[in-house]
């Protein structure tokens, strides 16, 4: 198998040395050269065959977006991985649109850089996981009516993609085989009209409402014609409980629109976008603080009515939660149809 020729481009010698050390251990990788500015980069590309360009987007004599467009136009087979300290979402999206194959943050582990390189060489895309929530934060205006209908499984796949999960992690999350996940993703891409994971991610950035379920669907009931619209955010790290709570809400209020999040970062990103009328937040989110999440959600979405829930209700938790401005602190075991109906009626005022 021929060696993959890699060019490293960064204006810091120490950074290039770190990249070299991380990549040389990978099979069939040959570091074909190193450059420290845009002029040297373009010069090497004209003289040498390069398969993979790993570069910082901030170098002397270099304008990244126009340079990427120029490189892709002249050398369409070159794959480009950006390795940068900049995590501004506009900067990232601009480079992705220009044609880079991946964007990796410098503060991530070297093992992730090796994985990113392998993914890109295998024809996949790469975005550092910590960038996903920043990208989800981008506001969009595309109408729901232009978006296709998805099954619950397809929405769950799309949500996991938006979190940066790879096929193996998706399989573990959904208790499926990797091959089954691949088949589901192929069907999802066909529905969305895209042909890659990155394009699916870009699609959900334009259509955040694709991650939502309808109360009608969850509750399997017929909506009442005069029901008021209600948007609900469910924050819990247990997917099965999120579905259970969603079904309960859907039965009571079929016209509701239901969003799910499994951690505070995802909850706050969605909260900023959708400004839900009602939110249910578990006290403990995989060792994270659900009450602190409630405080932050109130800051970015002050009109949201927040209910804190817990499988282990504690008097001190209740006191702290109510002081954070939530409208109720409920035991998960007490969330039946009657109590949920009362909570929704209170939220609607």
| Cα torsion 266, 268, 273, 279: sign | positive
- 250-302 pLDDT, tens digit per residue, is 888 877 888 888 889 889 988 887 888 899 999 888 767 888 899 899 888 88
User: How much is the average pLDDT of 36-41?
Assistant: 94
State the average pLDDT for the chain.
81
Extents of the domains making up the chain: 4-130, 139-208, 212-348
Give CATH for domain 4-130. Answer: 3.40.50.2300
As a residue count, the chain comes to: 349
Enumerate the H helices of the chain as residue ranges. Answer: 13-23, 38-47, 64-74, 89-98, 110-121, 129-136, 152-162, 167-174, 178-192, 197-206, 215-219, 239-252, 264-274, 290-300, 315-323, 337-348
DSSP notation for 126-143: EE-HHHHHHHHTS-----
Q: Report pLDDT digits (tens) over 85-114.
A: 877 666 787 788 788 999 998 888 888 899
Three state DSSP letters for 37-63: CHHHHHHHHHHCCCCEEEECCCCCCCC
Which residues lie across from 82 on neighbouring strands? 55, 103
What pTM was computed for the model? 0.43
In the numeric block, which tokens belong to residue 14? 């120490």
How is residue 224 written in tokens?
């009442």
**Using CA atoms in the order 230, 236, 237, 243, what is the torsion angle rounded to 10 degrees?**
-50
pLDDT score of 171 = 86
Residue 145 has pLDDT above 60, yes or no: no
Assigned token pair, 216: 């009608």
Cα distance between residue 335 and residue 94, in whole Å: 45
Pairing mode, if any, of strands 52-55 and 4-9? Answer: parallel
Of the listed ranges 165-169, 241-245, 344-348, the least confidently predicted one is: 344-348
CATH of domain 212-348: 3.40.50.2300
> CA–CA distance from 337 to each of 249, 251, 259, 333, 343 (Å)?
8, 8, 19, 12, 10
State how far the Cα of 64 lies from the Cα of 90, in Å rounded to an integer.
Answer: 13
Sheet holding 278-282, edge to edge: 213-214, 256-261, 230-235, 278-282, 305-310, 328-331
Question: Do 139-208 and 4-130 fall under one CATH topology?
Answer: no
- pLDDT band of residue 160 (cuts 50, 70, 90) is confident
d(CA 115, CA 26): 10
pLDDT band at 140 (very low <50, low <70, confident <90, very high): very low
**Assigned CATH class of 139-208:** mainly alpha
Token pair, residue 185, equals: 């993703």
Sign of CA dihedral 112, 113, 114, 116: positive
């Amino acid at each position: 198998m021929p060696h993959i020729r890699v060019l490293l481009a960064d204006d810091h010698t120490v950074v290039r040395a770190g990249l070299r050390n991380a990549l040389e251990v990978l099979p069939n990788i040959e570091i074909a050269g190193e450059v420290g500015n845009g002029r040297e980069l373009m010069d090497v590309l004209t003289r040498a065959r390069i398969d993979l360009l790993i570069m910082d987007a901030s170098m002397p004599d270099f304008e990244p977006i126009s340079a990427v467009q120029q490189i892709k136009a002249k050398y369409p087979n070159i794959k480009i991985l950006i390795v940068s300290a900049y995590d501004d979402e506009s900067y990232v999206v601009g480079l992705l649109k220009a044609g880079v194959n991946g964007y990796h943050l410098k503060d991530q582990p070297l093992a992730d850089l090796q994985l990113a390189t392998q993914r890109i060489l295998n024809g996949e895309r790469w975005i550092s996981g910590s960038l996903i929530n920043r990208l989800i934060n981008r506001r969009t205006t595309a109408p729901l009516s232009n978006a296709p209908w998805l099954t619950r499984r397809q929405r769950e796949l799309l949500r996991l993609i938006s979190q940066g999960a790879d096929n193996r992690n998706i399989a573990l999350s959904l208790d499926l085989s990797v091959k089954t996940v691949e088949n589901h993703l192929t069907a999802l891409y066909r529905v969305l009209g895209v042909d890659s994971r990155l394009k699916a991610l870009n699609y959900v950035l334009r259509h955040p409402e694709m991650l939502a379920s309808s109360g009608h669907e969850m509750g399997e009931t017929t909506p009442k014609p005069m029901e008021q619209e209600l948007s609900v955010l469910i924050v819990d790290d247990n997917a099965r409980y999120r579905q259970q709570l969603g079904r309960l809400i859907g039965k009571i209020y079929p016209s509701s629109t239901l969003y799910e999040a499994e951690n505070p970062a995802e909850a706050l990103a969605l909260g900023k976008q959708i400004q839900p009328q009602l939110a249910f937040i578990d006290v403990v989110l995989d060792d994270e603080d659900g009450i602190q999440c409630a405080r932050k959600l109130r800051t970015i979405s002050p009109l949201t009515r927040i209910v804190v829930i817990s499988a282990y209700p504690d008097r001190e938790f209740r006191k702290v939660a109510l002081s954070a401005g939530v409208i109720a602190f409920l035991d998960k075991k007490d969330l039946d149809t009657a109590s949920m109906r009362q909570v929704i009626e209170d939220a609607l005022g």
